[in-house]
Amino acid sequence: MNKRILNVHGVSAVYDKVKALHGVSIHVNEGEIVAILGANGAGKTTLLNAISGIVPAAGGEISLGGTPIRGLKPWQLSAHGLIHVPEGREIFPAMSVEDNLRVVDASGNGPDFTVQSVLEMFPRLRERFDQTAGNLSGGEQQMLAIGRGLMARPRLILFDEPSLGLSPLISRHVLATIASLRSQGVSCLLVEQNMRAALKIADRAYVLRVGRVVREGDATDIAQDPDIGEAYLGS
């Protein structure tokens, strides 16, 4: 049987009067890439934020490698091997590429990534090594955000819209790199606006609609489902 790295069971989340998640259950097996699909406002970002402790989960259980993590804060979760690369990328714009990578607390319990291995993964960052991160292109900043995430030695990375605003070529490079993490012992939960690209690299996927899981299955089955565009767009 597959070993679960992440188990989310019956999780809800509420903003003031808006209930954004209604008892959502998903899981990620070790070595898997799992995509979360859904229309704008379906609750995808809220789900990632509830897992990583950015918004409180109003109920349910969340465990990482069998350890309960619901209620832990993001900085506590990196020591458990969970890293969130949010949509805003959250690099330090005034610091150099090198310093952005070296400042990371490598406290996780996953594979041992180094500055060297990150630069091998993203040769572009080697060319920009001494430059201020705020001056990088959007694609380079996304590469740096992923590199920073890896430096923390995660076992699981949550990616929120990693290809947002990137050119098709750079998007493909970023998503291919995410796909390659699987073989390096890092599992991924991926929210991606480009549904087709996400399903190409994912093993399984869940479709959210108005805060509920309405479909789950193998990525290839979901990609071939003629109704999935409608389900995805929520129209």
- The rounded distance, in Å, linking the Cα atoms of 38 and 208 is 5
* Position among 22, 38, 163, 215 found at the interface with ligand ATP (CB under 6 A): 38
The residue count for binding ligand ATP (CB under 6 A) is: 12
Question: Which residue, 100 or 171, has its beta carbon nearer to ligand ATP?
Answer: 171
Contact (CB, 8 A) for 23 and 11: yes
- Please tell me whether residue 23 binds ligand ATP under the rule CB under 6 A: no
As a whole number of Å, the end-to-end CA separation of the chain is 37
Query: Treating both helix axes as pointing N-terminal to C-terminal, what angle do 138-151 and 168-181 enclose, rounded to 10 degrees?
Result: 10
- Please tell me whether residue 234 binds ligand ATP under the rule CB under 6 A: no
Query: Which residues ranging from 46 to 105 are in contact with ligand ATP (CB under 6 A)?
Result: 46
- The rounded distance, in Å, linking the Cα atoms of 192 and 159 is 8
* Position among 10, 23, 31, 41 found at the interface with ligand ATP (CB under 6 A): 41
* 44 phi and psi angles, rounded to 5 deg: -65, -50
Binding part of the chain for ligand ATP, among 36-44, 150-158, 196-204, 222-230 by CB under 6 A, reads: 36-44
Query: Least distance in Å: CB of 22 to ligand ATP?
Result: 11
- Please tell me whether residue 40 binds ligand ATP under the rule CB under 6 A: yes
* Position among 7, 32, 37, 44 found at the interface with ligand ATP (CB under 6 A): 44
- The rounded distance, in Å, linking the Cα atoms of 109 and 6 is 15
Sequence-ordered list of residues with C-beta below 8 angstroms from that of 77, at least 6 positions apart, any chain: 52, 53, 64, 69, 83, 84
Question: Which residue, 42 or 166, has its beta carbon nearer to ligand ATP?
Answer: 42
Query: Least distance in Å: CB of 225 to ligand ATP?
Result: 19
Structure letter (DSSP) for residue 220:
H
**Exposure of 165 in the CB half-sphere (CA atoms within 13 A):** 10
Question: Which residue, 20 or 157, has its beta carbon nearer to ligand ATP?
Answer: 20
Name residue, tokens 């929120």: 160
* Position among 2, 18, 88, 135 found at the interface with ligand ATP (CB under 6 A): 18
**Beta strands at 4-15 and 18-29: parallel, antiparallel or unpaired:** antiparallel
Q: What are the residues binding ligand ATP (CB under 6 A)?
A: 15-16, 18, 20, 38, 40-46
